[in-house]
Structure 1
Amino acid sequence: MSIEKPYITLKAFLSKPDIDCDDLETFLSSRTYQNFELSSNESLSGRLYVKNAEEKQPTWMPFINTGITGSLNLSNKSNSAVLFIEVDGRVVAYTFGYGRSMLDLDRFLPDFGMKTALNTLRHDSLKSVDIFTVDRSAVQKRTQAVRSSSVGDFGIDVSKDILRAVTGNPKENIPFQSVSGGDYVYSFGAYIEFDDLIETSRSLISYYTQESYKDQFSWVDNIRRLKNDTKKSELDEVLRGVIDAKDATNLAITAPEVVSWDKISGFSFTRSKSTIYPTLIIETYLKSLGDNSITLSTLKNHKLFIYDTDLNERCHSLYKSLYFEYVEANKTFILFSGDWFEIDNDFVVQLDRALAQIPISDLEFPTVHNWTHEDREKIETEGDYNERAATLKSYHLLDKKLIKSRTTTSAIELCDLMTDNKQLIHVKHKKGGSAGLSHLFAQGYVAAEVTISDKEFRKKARAKLRGIRADLDSLIPLNGIKSSDYEVVYLVLGDNNSTVKSALPFFSKINLVKAFENLTQKGFTVTICGVEKERIEPSTDSDESEA
């Protein structure tokens, strides 16, 4: 490295190996950009494309002008450019400004940024990580460290976290400064001249093809991108059928990037663009489709529009905004950010072994009622079921009896039902899908942990119990409480004991195992059970129960 060379931060993308490089304009999302030939030495082949900058007035300026003397006249201008470098039959694209929006990303490797970053940075030098957590809801998180840290310092759960972006310091043999990568893009700082881009591009291709990341980051393959195009096409057709059926059970919609929610004013979709919705939920999109069947091509052409508080519009592929979970035989596939991921089979085997260790509860529960009302299928609400179960089995009803704790962000229930033998029963419908069931397991864990650790919570819980029966506060002693005295029972409505564990959505299994391991380590007994549905004749107030 020569300090006489200029320092620049570059963002690079690598073309797929089977893409023809003869016409560089095919790598662009449009052919209406200005282009410039390169004036460097003959070994450097490529071209620069630039998008004409547009000036826009800030949306807040008219409001300000109504309250000041004179007139404020401001404008914003954004610039975009892409530099293509051809090397060894591949194209490396370097973007500047908003140049990423100029690329046709279907022609570039979707894992280039992440894999190249993991191969080039020191595992103990991480500065920030972006992860997608597949949990009771799809959550994207960015965590930054005050100083360079190892991956263990970021609290990553390798069983359900997908690493999406990472920043750190390069290894000793890497001639770059700070490096980062995520999905398509690899970013790095370097002291280079323009003519050095040919060798730099060759180096980037070499870094991508290495497997050194497996020494310290092998866990990223627990959940890995699916590369079989035929299989991806099959899964896309499954997705299309689910959307056609308006089935949102294992389907969700999320912004395909980490966004600043305090700066977002709303969302809209291709078929209802004139309506801006304040929240982003899958049911809104499904409703916008109407009753007509949707093709896969239409689905992939649909857009999600995100508006900031100045009503500036950002457009994303709707397909890349979907989260979908699909189980097939002993494999689980998830779609996120336009990519299909396959769960490692060894990971599945380990999970099933852990799941087998969780016992079935000995408690007895009534079946959950379902019926037909006005040609619609109805099923008993959790609240109605809890009331009926408490009456039939002499359980104590604590559903909706919320208690505040200093250690939780909101008031929680001690449990839904409780027995005289200190069994804390948490109840959830299977029909709630992965999100609802994962919430069930988290709910049981949090309530049990708070009961043991928070004396003020126990004091309030004892008051709730005395409201049911004067002597029930003895079930939760104020002092000297022992976790080994309690059993946390997870009750799933709509399944039976023989299949209640195996029928769980994949990531709900992960959450159950995590809750079981954490609670048993604290001394609790943990069990699970299920109750089947039973069809009954509708009662006169059946229309008040949920569909």
Structure 2
Amino acid sequence: MAEKTQNLSIRLLKPDVKPEDSVRQGVQLADWPQFEGAKIATGSVGGNPPSWADFPALAADHKSQLFQRFAFGLIFIFVDNRWFAISFGLGHSKIDPSAIEQDFGLKVVLNTVDHTKLRSADLRTPDANTVSRRSQTSRGSEQTAFDIDPERDIVRGLLGEPKDKSFATKVSGGDALSLRRKVSLNELPDLCSRALTFYGADDYKQQFSWIDQIRHVRDQALIDKLEIKLVEALSQALAADPPATDDIHLAYPTIYDPDKAGWVRFRGFNLNEIYPDLEISHYLSGLKAKNGAAYQDNYLVNHSVQECDETGQVPGESWKIRDCLVFETELDGLASAVVV
């Protein structure tokens, strides 16, 4: 098969997760004969007139001609004893974020990118008012061009040119690895294998050693302790009337694009309201109205935030509520830790 320039979005499933356990409810996987054991899912979402069709007061027959549909595709291949998910269109929205390795794409980019040819950086500064920003340059630049504070900023994504052009002509990554290159279908396994090798390397320490100064906690015992304190704080906030939100807030875990879906809704506890902003007060007030004043630890993974339009339709990105919470605390008498 001829090579074609393709934008690929690749995610690495956690070691104990299989494809059928990584997709959202309603996604049907089928065998994909291109590679042994591979799986595929395709489909579309939408099919209704766009929400803006009401505003210009279109006639019913005119409105009936407008249909908004979005296609998605997901491919799962097993390489080097790990499952990889390659998404197309809205395929990424059909993957459960908890099923994939966090920072997989970022780690690959750090180990492959030419540090003098960076083009974009997604940064997050956790604070009483969490700031997320994307800094871009008009040409390839050193990391100093992005004003990164290694003691305060969490790097959530980088884009640039790789040193080895046989891997890609452009790479970017956060949790997912995005790359652009000429590729044929039969090259996918080798490409995933190379990405996995880069993921496990530590070459990044030569130019990006500072990135380890502030990063996501990986130790599960420490995460459990932090989540206990978070649940206690949420229980206290929920018990107040109205719910108290001074020490906890919500922030998008990625750079938010309001043009894609300008509203949000909370899922997991039968709340039908939609909101124009992501606010902790909306979440706690809605939760209190539905479930009372007790906050349970399973809410952190069972509740989620989902982008939508003003009618509550057109599903966009979705994140577990735990991934959107920002809470600063001291743990075991050590320096403050931030749960994000």
Q: Quick check: TM above 0.5?
A: yes
Map of 1:303-318 to 2, 5 A cutoff?
A: 303-308=304-309, 311-312=312-313, 313-314=315-316, 315-318=318-321
1:33 to 28, 43, 49: 28
2:71 to 79, 84, 99: 79
| Local SS of the residue matching 1:125 | strand
Residues 1:139 and 1:294: Cα distance change in structure 2 (over 3 Å): same
Map of 1:77-226 to 2, 5 A cutoff?
A: 77-172=69-164, 174-182=166-174, 184-226=175-217
1:335 to 329, 334, 339: 339
- Contact 2:156-2:254 at 8 Å conserved across structures: no
1:322 to 303, 321, 325: 325
CA positional deviation for 1:45 = 4.1
Residues 1:128 and 1:244: Cα distance change in structure 2 (over 3 Å): same
Residues 1:95 and 1:229: Cα distance change in structure 2 (over 3 Å): same
Supply the distance in 1 between the matched residues of 2:178 and 2:163 (Cα, whole angstroms).
15
2:256 to 251, 259, 274: 259
- Contact 1:33-1:51 at 8 Å conserved across structures: no
Write out per-residue CA displacement over residues 139-168 of structure 1, whole angstroms, 9 at most, x where no aligned residue.
110111111111101122222111111100
CA positional deviation for 1:310 = 6.6
Give unpaired runs (5+ residues) of structure 2: 238-243
CA positional deviation for 1:251 = 1.4
Map of 1:476-515 to 2, 5 A cutoff?
A: none
CA positional deviation for 1:283 = 2.9
CA positional deviation for 1:52 = 4.2
Query: Structure 1 stretch 300-309 or stretch 189-198: which is displaced more?
Result: 300-309
Residues 1:20 and 1:99: Cα distance change in structure 2 (over 3 Å): closer
Residues 1:228 and 1:301: Cα distance change in structure 2 (over 3 Å): same
Q: Which has the larger radius of gyration?
A: 1
Write out per-residue CA displacement over residues 39-90 of structure 1, whole angstroms, 9 at most, x where no aligned residue.
35xxx54121223444121112233244x79724211111111111111211
Query: Structure 1 stretch 199-208 or stretch 281-290: which is displaced more?
Result: 281-290
Give unpaired runs (5+ residues) of structure 1: 337-547
Work out whether 1:250 is the aligned partner of 2:261: no
- Contact 1:168-1:179 at 8 Å conserved across structures: yes
| Local SS of the residue matching 1:224 | coil
Supply the distance in 1 between the matched residues of 2:164 and 2:319 (Cα, whole angstroms).
38
In structure 2, what is the equivalent of residue 296 of structure 1? 297
- Contact 1:265-1:307 at 8 Å conserved across structures: yes
Bigger proportion of residues as helix: 1
Supply the distance in 1 between the matched residues of 2:97 and 2:129 (Cα, whole angstroms).
27
In structure 1, what is the equivalent of residue 240 of structure 2? none
CA positional deviation for 1:282 = 2.0
- Contact 1:120-1:174 at 8 Å conserved across structures: no
Residues 1:130 and 1:116: Cα distance change in structure 2 (over 3 Å): same
Cα RMSD, aligned residues only = 2.5
Query: Structure 1 stretch 192-201 or stretch 313-322: which is displaced more?
Result: 313-322
CA positional deviation for 1:222 = 1.0
- Contact 1:268-1:275 at 8 Å conserved across structures: yes
Q: How does the TM-score come out when normalised to structure 1?
A: 0.55
Residues 1:274 and 1:47: Cα distance change in structure 2 (over 3 Å): closer
CA positional deviation for 1:215 = 1.1
CA positional deviation for 1:311 = 5.0
Supply the distance in 1 between the matched residues of 2:201 and 2:186 (Cα, whole angstroms).
25
CA positional deviation for 1:262 = 6.3
Write out per-residue CA displacement over residues 247-304 of structure 1, whole angstroms, 9 at most, x where no aligned residue.
5343111123222346765444345733334443323323333342111112321222
Q: How does the TM-score come out when normalised to structure 2?
A: 0.87
- Contact 2:112-2:164 at 8 Å conserved across structures: no
Residues 1:85 and 1:70: Cα distance change in structure 2 (over 3 Å): closer
Write out per-residue CA displacement over residues 225-247 of structure 1, whole angstroms, 9 at most, x where no aligned residue.
21111221221111111000005
The percentage of aligned residue pairs carrying the same residue is 26
In structure 1, what is the equivalent of residue 13 of structure 2? 15
Query: With CA pairs under 8 Å and 6+ residues apart, which has the higher RCO, 1 or 2?
Result: 2
Supply the distance in 2 between the matched residues of 1:209 and 1:269 (Cα, whole angstroms).
36
Supply the distance in 1 between the matched residues of 2:300 and 2:245 (Cα, whole angstroms).
15
Map of 1:259-408 to 2, 5 A cutoff?
A: 259-261=256-258, 265-270=262-267, 271=269, 273-290=271-288, 291-308=292-309, 311-312=312-313, 313-314=315-316, 315-328=318-331, 329-336=333-340
